[in-house]
Structure 1
Amino acid sequence: MGFLKLVGGVVTLLLLAALGMRLRYGGGEPYPDVSGMPLLPDSALEVAAVSQEPVGNVAASSTGRLFFTIHPESRPEGAKLMEWVDGKPVPFPALALQAKLLETPLGITIDRRDWLWVIDHGNHGMGMPRLLAFELATGHVAHEFAFPPDVAPPGSFLQDLRVDAKGETVFIADVAFWRKSPGLVVYDVTAKRARRVLDGHASVLPRDYIIRNPIKDMVFFGGLAALKAGVDGIAVDPADEWVWFAAMNHDTMHRVRTADLRDASLSAAELEKRVQAVGRKPLNDGLSADAEGNVLITDVEHGAVLRMSPDGRLETLVKSPRIRWADALSHGPDGWLYVADSAIPHQMLQSKAHIAANAPYFIYRFKPGIAGVAGM
């Protein structure tokens, strides 16, 4: 009888744990398709780089150098930050320096002085969340900052970033999937000081939508958990006036003035009042602002890239079954827009054998052209 009671107790605990997980991480409703007919044909999308490991984020320099991370969810064992050189990926910076500094890098961006900024979430805040900048000319470390626990606590996921035009402020998105408390981080480069803002605000929280990717619906453990991510993509317009941001599982794009984010004297309530809802969007990952003040948006359900005008008008630029999960975006020279296809359904919670079997992984590029005009 004692053994049966023990078994019964274990089963009860497991059922309660499953119920708790389902209530906290599961459920959700389908989201309507807000994409339309693409302005550009599938042939406008060309392969820019190929990787045998899943791609994370991408960054193109003003001279056309192309960098990308290996997605940390794929548990890479070698180099985690690459440059595409002569038709193959090469570690950048040197592998020995990567081994010393990088744990789980994902988001990357290049500023106007040719520094490659890298955000490393430190294994969801369980290790050392870190911000790094490397000089493109030398590969040397130009800047380094370790986030304290009050900014990047356990369960945080610092995963996308943008730098203002002067290189003085870095804006970072914390999706905080496991912690369920997403927000933005504002980092003062000169003072080497970081602070959290909009922590848990409605604009950064996910809504109860299920991501239906063609490969699979993004639910796990028999439906006990679903990928419902908070603020993910982030972009700064060229005039440095607005920071645009979007929670992946949310129906609305938001923006807030960079001056308000920099103003540490504003209370949380005052800052929240200054957040603006711009327009309806797809369930998205990466964002990138163009020279006309529009924001480019990836659509993770339909292999698409959309463009939103400052007044919230949407148009679909390209849509392709080749894109498994449209992730990060980066504007490069000569009008090219680079799209990292991170193929999340083929790597998230998948075995290394499954990941290898679904290789290779791609970065694509196309020329968006002028708003409302295809093929320019």
Structure 2
Amino acid sequence: MKQFLARLSVGLLVFVALLLVVLHLRYGGGEPYPDLSGAPVFDEAALEVVVTSPEPIGNHAVSADGRVFYTIHPESRPTGAKLLEWVDGAPRAFPSEDAQSLFETPLGVAVDRQNRLWTIDHGNHGTGKARLLAFDLSTGEVVHDHVFDSSVAQLGSFLQDLQVDSTGEHIFIADVSFWRKNPGLVVYDVQSGQARRVLDSDPSVSAQDWLIRNPTKDMVFFGVVVLKPGVDGIAIDRSDEWLYYGAMAHDTMYRIKVADLLDDSLSPGALAARIEAVGAKPLNDGLSTDNDGNLLITDVEHNAVIRMKPDGELTTLVRSERIRWADALSYGPEGWLYVADSAIPDQMLQSKAHMTASAPYHIFRFKPDVDGVPGQ
């Protein structure tokens, strides 16, 4: 018996060692990334707190009349309402408490120019029901409901950010695909209900070997798993000409023409050949665009929001230690740009007790001096 137990122990040790090697090879590594931020244009006092939440915030969207909608981040394992509206200084389940049964793991939200709130639910990394929903903001009624099949929402996928064109007929979704390692974009036609994946594992949507060093912690888990996400933030310019996108752990911002994404006659190679590099970027999460053709970029390492001009020039707009993880961006009315702080280091693979102790969580806003279209 002793000999058997000794052999079993050795076998378990060998198995654990091999598992750690495999995890390191697939998810480990990472080099420090250079700081591309600079002195901010606006003082920290320009940041106003809009939403205060006891639970970690996911993404948000602000309507043209100033209504603020947001998700509770699915990585925080929420047990209550998952989609909320901030009303009179307090959270309210949207569109109702009963409607929360529609959601599994919603994260990305956007308001289109047809006054609909869109939500994307990754279906617990593709293990459940990945779902796209739209709500009429005037009534709260569901006006569109689509469940993606496994050819789009693959096992290990993470459909988590979305943009809607000005017509409200086409939706673009980013699959960061941290676990599966097959990041890409999803193009969805609202009228036909057809979805297809594009740019799967293209170098432009894939993570490079960078280590995210947030002020709270380096994004390494269990000593071997490094958070190196693929394509995360996406944004459409105001004329619907370009879709901008950036993999979080990547040094370059890219764009591709919306017309090319909608052209299903293009082969994967032909589509990839039409990608354009815009310029060097920070390690980013959410994106937005303004009315002057600039791109707004969050910097998850330096608590900042940065503006990228069409020629790639970077300007740091605001920077604050109050922003633990600059996540989603959404313009609202009157030139306000809203910034969600998802505080990823204080929620990802953390205990509920830690999340409670790290509360509250916030959505901020400031005026970046160039207006944009509310909702995205």
| Aligned structure 1 segments of 4 or more residues deviating by more than 3 angstroms | none
| Counterpart position of 2:374 | none
* Pair 1:349-2:322 in alignment: no
Deviations along 1:186-205, one digit per CA (max 9) or x if unpaired, are 00000100000000000000
Is residue 287–residue 295 contact of structure 2 (8 Å, CA) maintained in 1? Answer: yes
Asked if residue 25 in structure 1 is aligned to residue 30 in structure 2, the reply is no
Aligned residues: 369
Q: 1:281 maps to what in 2? A: 281
**What is the match of residue 110 of structure 1?**
111
Residue 297 of structure 2 aligns with which residue?
A: 297
Which SS does the other structure have where 1:27 is aligned? coil
> Is residue 52–residue 363 contact of structure 2 (8 Å, CA) maintained in 1?
yes
* Distance in 1 between residues matched to 2:331 and 2:237, nearest whole Å: 12
- The alpha-carbon deviation at position 370 of structure 1 amounts to 3.6
* Paired residue secondary structure (1:279): strand
Once the two structures are TM-superposed, the CA of residue 285 in structure 1 deviates from its matched residue by: 0.2
CA distance in 1, matches of 2:91, 2:194: 34
Determine the C-alpha separation between the residues in 2 that align with 1:22 and 1:93.
43
Task: Deviation per CA, 1:189-237: give whole Å up to 9, x if none.
Answer: 001000000000000001111011110000010x210110000000001
Within-5 A mapping of 1:65-84: 65-84=67-86
Contact 2:335 2:370 in 1 (8 A): no
5+ long unaligned stretches in structure 1: 372-376
SS of the residue corresponding to residue 142 of structure 1 reads strand
Q: Tell me how far 1:93 sits from its aligned partner.
A: 1.2
- Pair 1:62-2:64 in alignment: yes
Q: C-alpha distance in 2, partners of 1:370/1:129? A: 35
Shift of 1:310: 1.2
Q: Output one character per residue of 1:115-143: Cα deviation in whole Å (capped at 9) or x when no partner.
A: 00000000000000000001111111010
Cα deviations by residue, 1:83-127 (Å, 9 ceiling, x for unpaired): 00000110001111111x100000000000110000000000000
Q: Deviations over 1:149-206 (max 9, x none)?
A: 0111110000000000000100000000000110000000001000000000000001
Question: Counterpart amino acid of 1:161?
Answer: L
Q: Which runs of 5+ in 2 are unaligned?
A: 372-376
> Whole-Å Cα distance in 1 between the matches of residues 90 and 180 of structure 2?
37
Residue of 40, 43, 57 corresponding to 1:41? 43
Amino acid paired to 1:51: S
Letter in 2 for 1:123: N
Aligned twin of 1:364? 364
Cα distance in structure 1, aligned partners of 2:177 and 2:92: 30
Please name the residue that 1:212 is paired with: 213
Q: 1-side partners of 2:218 and 2:197: how far apart?
A: 32
What is residue 92 of structure 2 aligned with on the other side?
90
Distance 1:95 1:232 in 2: 29
User: Superposition RMSD on alpha carbons, in Å?
Assistant: 0.7
What TM-score do you get using the length of structure 1 for normalisation?
Answer: 0.97
Aligned residue for 2:356, secondary structure, equals helix
Residue matched to 1:195: 196
Give 3-state SS (helix, strand or coil) of 1:109's partner: strand
Amino acid at match of 1:64: G
Counterpart secondary structure, 1:348: coil
Q: Give the secondary-structure state (helix, strand or coil) at the position aligned to 2:58.
A: strand
Determine the structure 1 residue equivalent to 2:257: 257
Look up the equivalent residue of 1:25 and give its one-letter code.
Answer: Y
SS of the residue corresponding to residue 215 of structure 2 reads: coil
- Which residue of structure 2 lines up, in the alignment, with residue 374 of structure 1? none
CA deviation map 1:335-356 (0-9, x unaligned): 0000000000000000000000
2:210 match: secondary structure: coil
Counterpart amino acid of residue 167 in structure 1? G
3-state SS, counterpart of residue 62 of structure 1: coil
Q: Counterpart of 2:243?
A: 243
Secondary structure at the residue paired with 1:133?
strand
Paired AA for residue 284 in structure 1: N
The sequence identity of aligned pairs, in percent, is: 63
What is the match of residue 327 of structure 1?
Answer: 327
Amino acid at match of 2:82: K
Alignment-mate amino acid for residue 277 of structure 1: A
Aligned-pair distance for 1:65? 0.4
CA distance in 1, matches of 2:165, 2:114: 11
Equivalent residue for 1:12? 14
